[in-house]
A and B are shown apart, each in its own frame.
Chain A
Amino acid sequence: AQKVTQAQTEISVVEKEDVTLDCVYETRDTTYYLFWYKQPPSGELVFLIRRNSFDEQNEISGRYSWNFQKSTSSFNFTITASQVVDSAVYFCALIIVGREIIFGKGTRLHILP
């Protein structure tokens, strides 16, 4: 069975601190995609990154970075020098090719000024 676990329900950090959001997934399929989405208070989900199962290269985009490790089935997301605007709920998702999409329960991130 496919599953995505975001063990951190809620995290609070002070502005400018670094923070890592964890995502652990389970699947027996060899071809799949992993995503991170941000949900600000407005409600709409904003796409952050996609990674396919054959590409374990880590990625950095500005203050955001992602660490994909198939050996531990993890796809963690780090925000460096956090800002108040980063406050949101963040979802990790797993897509099995041609089938449904499984979301984690989300991590609510509070960046305190």
Chain B
Amino acid sequence: DGGITQSPKYLFRKEGQNVTLSCEQNLNHDAMYWYRQDPGQGLRLIYYSQIVNDFQKGDIAEGYSVSREKKESFPLTVTSAQKNPTAFYLCATATGFPNEKLFFGSGTQLSVL
């Protein structure tokens, strides 16, 4: 089936540890996005990528890093510099020009031990 797969569904991070959230898609979409959602809050853009080997910072990129080596994959690393990482993370893709529809993964809940 075509879609977006986020893993793991739940993730725990220890102090000072980097963790990586996976996002894989087989929809052949160029654009991919990472959003953070805090309880009772809206979606805030962390990073986005419109094409392989290129990505741009969103509104809250500090403490996060991404890579886009393959069209299908857009992993997000939450680094130790992110002091408040507990949140629900959503990955999304968009159809090609003109980015007319967003598809979302099922999300990863990250918590700090």
A interface residue numbers (CB < 8 A to B): 6, 31, 33, 35, 37, 42-45, 47, 50, 52, 91, 93, 95, 97-101, 103-106, 108
Which of B16-24, B73-81, B104-112 has 4 or more CB atoms under 8 Å from chain A?
Answer: B104-112
Report A105 CB to chain B, min CB distance, Å.
3
**CA gap between A103 and B100 in the complex, in Å:** 14
Min CB–CB distance B29 → chain A (angstroms): 13
Report if A95-B100 is in contact (Cβ < 8 Å); known contacts: A44-B105, A100-B48: yes
Number of interface residues, chain B, beta carbon within 8 A: 27
Q: Are B42 and A91 in contact (CB under 8 A)?
A: yes
- The answer on a CB contact under 8 Å between B94 and A101 is yes
CB-CB under 8 A for A44 and B42, given A33-B98, A98-B97, A98-B99 = no
| Known contacts A43-B107, A44-B106, A101-B33; A31 and B98 CB within 8 A of each other | yes
Known: A100-B58, A101-B94. A47 touches B102 (CB 8 A): yes
Once the chains bind, are B106 and A43 in contact (CB under 8 Å)? yes
Show 30 A/B contacts (Cβ-Cβ < 8 Å), sorted by A.
A31-B98, A33-B99, A33-B100, A35-B101, A43-B90, A43-B106, A43-B109, A44-B106, A45-B90, A45-B102, A45-B104, A47-B102, A50-B101, A91-B42, A95-B99, A97-B99, A98-B97, A99-B99, A100-B33, A100-B45, A100-B48, A100-B56, A100-B58, A101-B45, A101-B48, A101-B94, A103-B35, A105-B41, A106-B42, A106-B43
Q: How far is the CA of A95 from the CA of B50 in the complex (A)?
A: 14
Residues of B contacting A: mostly: strand
In the bound complex, CA of A52 to CA of B50 (Å): 20
A97-B42 contact, Cβ under 8 Å, with A43-B106, A44-B105, A45-B104:
no
Residues of B within 8 A of A52 (CB): 100
Separation in Å of the A112 CB from the closest CB of chain B?
19
Report the nearest B residue to A4, measured CB to CB. Answer: B42
A47 touches B42 (CB 8 A): no
CB of A79 to closest CB in B, whole Å: 20
User: Which residues of chain B come closer than 8 Å to A45, judged between CB atoms?
Assistant: 90, 92, 102, 104
Nearest Cβ distance between residue A43 and chain B, in whole angstroms?
5
